[in-house]
């Protein structure tokens, strides 16, 4: 099986899956790094700290614009898939590396398996929203981290029997690495006194880092929050943009803000563990905050991880300085809010995601059986038909239950001519102009055809 990683969070989240799969006898793993992230502190450090084998191959993709980077992953990964002929290709997350890998495997008719599927921000200005939507729908099998993610896929017509609710592997990583944080000297190195109010902040999303007004908003908020010690490990994108916007020098004048290089995993986890509040636009850091029961202020206008907000772990504060400041202070000072967070369940799972993923893959070990099988239309899997009730159609006036009895097809949805979905029950009659979506066994199609024809 080919396992693909490309960026910091993919390496971290794939590590326990690699470990769980490598315990299965007779399974050969081929680990490919696309090279999207390449600095030691964005890549190598995680292999050594998380005990992950060195990649068998690095494609050296590096940085580039959205189109170029994705196209190069597709091109280079295509060559690897063709040469290595894996039974399946496995990726985690929503980066350009994941999209390029999903496309390469699918084009070469090798089953693509996606971990961390079904997340949706409904914001198409994010490259990740495009990547995850395409990757999920190309996948022969999706591992959804939360019930919401599971139901998002269902809602989009992805067949439920191809979705496994696994939890997020980040929880497995945090649990495994928790005991190692004792080794970290990061607090001492930074001169942070435990017990004094501390905030960790990370920012790297294109929609923040590349926009001057948003970075300015975040910097203004940090300036005001001077009752806190603030540690900011800078992602290379953010470092470059802050410098270009002239904000780096301003930040350096703030005594309560420490700008540091990106941290290795053990140090970062140690820093989070000592933090009273976390401010971030990162996906993984949101999940880690919930896992460690730390309040999380989301420096974005939306999140594909709404569980954080719904359960009360944090708030979406955007990049507006006053909303960031008031959010941080609310979660820092309101005792009741903090106490509530301590009692919340972790929406991202219980640390068994990678074990479950490995077990599911082991059970269907003949991964080639996933090949060529369109999840929607081939025999055995759901077969959908949609038709309009019109003209002399015999379905006109029939109730939903009569229709089901005659055709053997299940009615999934009824829409009015404008496309709005209509509520229905077994006694609802099918009316002229309505569009009906049905699902059933293709062998019953002739019965259906007789009713839906004019
Ligand atoms: C990428 C992912 C994002 C993920 C993030 C994890 C996409 C579209 N984005 O964003 O979903 O959350 O990784 O961190 O795939 N750079 C370096 N050294 C490195 C890597 C990057 O200096 O090792 C700099 C380069 O200037 C590069 C910039 O960072 O142009 C952005 O890197 P890139 O991988 O394109 O996007 P990320 O912002 O890291
Ligand atoms: N992380 C780290 N060092 C840092 C910042 C983040 O090890 O200095 C880890 C963090 O613990 C999380 C992951 O990187 O597991 C998140 O990566 P990132 O924020 O780059 O990407 P995202 O999760 O948003 O895709």
From atom 21 of ligand 1, which residue's Cα is the shortest distance away?
37
Fold: same for 2-167+352-370 and 181-342: yes
Could you state, in order of their start, the residue ranges of all structural domains in the chain?
2-167+352-370, 181-342, 378-452
The residue to mutate among 69, 91, 237, 298, having the most atoms of ligand 1 within 8 angstroms of its beta carbon, is 237
Task: Please tell me which residue in 33, 37, 114, 204 is annotated as part of the active site.
Answer: 204
CATH topology of domain 2-167+352-370: Rossmann fold (3.40.50)
Nearest-atom number in ligand 2 for the CA of 7 is: 20
The CATH number of 181-342, from 3.40.50.2000, 3.30.2320.80, 3.20.20.100, 3.40.120.10, is 3.40.50.2000
Average pLDDT of 5-14? 98
Could you read off the pLDDT of 281-339 as tens digits, one per residue? 999 999 999 999 999 999 999 999 999 999 999 999 999 999 999 999 999 999 999 99
Q: Determine the pLDDT at residue 379.
A: 46
Quote the ligand 1 centre to 100 CA distance (angstroms): 15
CATH architecture of 378-452: 2-Layer Sandwich (3.30)
204 annotated active-site: yes
Judged against a pLDDT cut of 90, whether residue 350 lies above it is answered with yes
Say if residue 454's pLDDT is above 60: no
Encode pLDDT of 123-140 as tens digits. Answer: 999 999 999 999 999 999
3-state secondary structure the chain: CEEEECCHHHHHHHHHHHHHHHCCCCCCCEEEECCCCCCHHHCHHHHHHCCCCCCCEECCCCCCCHHHHHHHHHHHHHHHHHHHCCCCEEEECCCHHHHHHHHHHHHCCCCEEEECCCCCCCCCCCHHHHHHHHHHHHCCEEEECCHHHHHHHHHCCCCHHHEEECCCHHHHHHHHHHHHHHHCCHHHHHCCCCCCCEEEEECCCHHHHCCHHHHHHHHHHHHHCCCCEEEEECCHHHHHHHHHCCHHHHHHCCCCEEEECCCCHHHHHHHHHHCCEEEECCHHHHHHHHHCCCCEEECCCCCCCCHHHHHCCEEECCCCHHHHHHHHHHHHHCHHHHHHHHCCCCCCCCCCHHHHHHHHHHHCCCHHHHCCCCCCCCCCCCEEEEEECCCCCCCCCCEHHHHHHHHCCEEEEEECCCCCEECCCCCCECCCCCEEEEEECHHHHHHHHHHHCC
Q: Is the pTM of this model over 0.75?
A: yes
Measured in Å, residue 153 CA sits from the centre of ligand 2 at 25
Confidence class for position 375, pLDDT limits 50, 70, 90? very low
What is the CA(168)–ligand 2 centre distance, in A?
Answer: 14
Is residue 95 lining ligand 1, measured as CB closer than 6 Å? Answer: yes
pLDDT tens profile 20-30? 999 998 889 99
Instruction: Kindly report the average pLDDT of the chain as a whole number.
Output: 94
Question: Residue 294 C-alpha to ligand 1 middle, in angstroms?
Answer: 26
């Amino acid at each position: 099986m080919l396992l693909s990683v490309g960026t910091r969070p993919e390496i971290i989240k794939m590590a326990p899956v690699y470990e769980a799969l490598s315990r299965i006898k007779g399974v050969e793993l081929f680990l490919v790094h696309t090279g999207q992230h390449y600095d030691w502190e964005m890549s190598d450090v995680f292999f050594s700290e998380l005990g992950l084998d060195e990649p068998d191959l690095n494609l050296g993709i590096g940085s580039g614009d959205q189109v170029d980077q994705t196209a190069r992953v597709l091109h280079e990964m295509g060559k690897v898939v063709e040469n290595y002929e894996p039974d399946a290709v496995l990726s985690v997350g929503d980066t350009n590396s994941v999209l390029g890998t999903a496309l390469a495997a699918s084009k070469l008719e090798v089953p693509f398996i996606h971990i961390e599927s079904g997340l949706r921000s409904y914001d198409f200005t994010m490259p990740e929203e495009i990547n995850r939507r395409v990757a999920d729908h190309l996948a022969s099998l999706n591992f959804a981290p939360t019930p919401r993610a599971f139901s998002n896929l269902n809602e989009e017509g992805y067949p439920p029997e191809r979705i496994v609710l696994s939890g997020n592997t980040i929880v497995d990583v945090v649990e495994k690495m928790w005991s190692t944080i004792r080794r970290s000297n990061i607090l001492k190195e930074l001169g942070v006194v435990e017990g004094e109010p501390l905030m960790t902040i990370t920012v790297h999303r294109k929609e923040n880092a590349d926009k001057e007004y948003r970075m300015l908003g975040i910097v203004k908020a940090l300036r005001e929050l001077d009752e806190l010690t603030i540690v900011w490990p800078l992602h290379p994108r953010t470092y470059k943009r802050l410098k270009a916007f002239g904000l780096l020098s301003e930040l350096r004048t703030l005594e309560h803000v420490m700008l540091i290089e990106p941290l290795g995993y053990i140090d970062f986890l140690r820093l989070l563990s000592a933090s009273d509040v976390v401010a971030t636009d990162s996906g993984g850091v949101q999940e880690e905050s919930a896992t460690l029961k730390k309040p999380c202020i989301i420096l974005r206008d939306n999140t594909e991880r709404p569980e954080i907000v719904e359960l009360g772990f944090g708030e979406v504060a955007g990049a507006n300085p006053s909303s960031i400041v008031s959010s941080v202070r609310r979660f820092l000072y309101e005792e009741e809010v903090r106490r509530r967070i301590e009692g919340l369940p972790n929406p991202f799972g219980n640390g068994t995601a990678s074990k479950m993923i490995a077990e599911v893959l082991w059970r269907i070990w003949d991964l080639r059986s996933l090949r060529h099988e369109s999840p929607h239309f081939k025999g055995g899997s759901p077969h959908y038909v949609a038709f309009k009730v019109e003209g002399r159609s015999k379905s006109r006036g029939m109730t939903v239950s009569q229709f089901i009895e005659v055709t053997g097809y299940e009615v999934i949805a009824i829409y009015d001519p404008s496309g709005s979905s209509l509520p229905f029950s077994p006694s609802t009659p099918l009316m002229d102009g309505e569009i009906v979506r049905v699902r059933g066994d293709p062998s019953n199609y002739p019965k259906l055809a007789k009713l839906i024809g004019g």
